[in-house]
Amino acid sequence: MKFCDECGSMMQTEGDKWVCTQCGYETLRDEAAEAEMVTTQAQEESEIIESGGGSSGLPTTSANCPNCDNDEAYWYMQQIRSADESETRFFVCTECEHKWREDDH
């Protein structure tokens, strides 16, 4: 992927040139530089490694499910508010798959 030197937008290939989709800036392609670029095809071919959390692939922890009183849950963290706020921790019960969250205050 190449970005425009003029406006910063993503460029597309057209023959032996890179062309900006926004401002029309053009530059010649460099095969050596393009060989160094990582493509989505290369990412798709990589091996996926599962991290032990059973069939969900999520790690487990001790947590009391408010729905069925099971004492084990999968967990993950997700940014749901603005970037300057802390992440929210989500839990999924390993028995009934009830989902709840825990906010850091």
Question: Among residues 14, 85, 87, 97, which one is catalytic?
Answer: 85
Question: How many CA atoms lie within 13 Å of 36's alpha carbon, on the beta-carbon side?
Answer: 5
69 is known as an active-site residue? no
Q: Is 40 annotated as a binding residue?
A: no
Q: Which residue has the tokens 């997700």?
A: 78
Closest C-alpha to 100, from 71, 69, 75, 70: 75
Q: Is 33 annotated as a binding residue?
A: no
C-alpha to C-alpha distance for 99 and 91, rounded to whole angstroms: 6
85 is known as an active-site residue? yes
Q: Is 43 annotated as a binding residue?
A: no
Q: Is 93 annotated as a binding residue?
A: yes
- Point out the annotated binding site: 4, 7, 20, 23, 65, 68, 93, 96
Among all residues, which ones are annotated catalytic? 84-85
- Point out the annotated binding site for Zn(2+): 4, 7, 20, 23, 65, 68, 93, 96
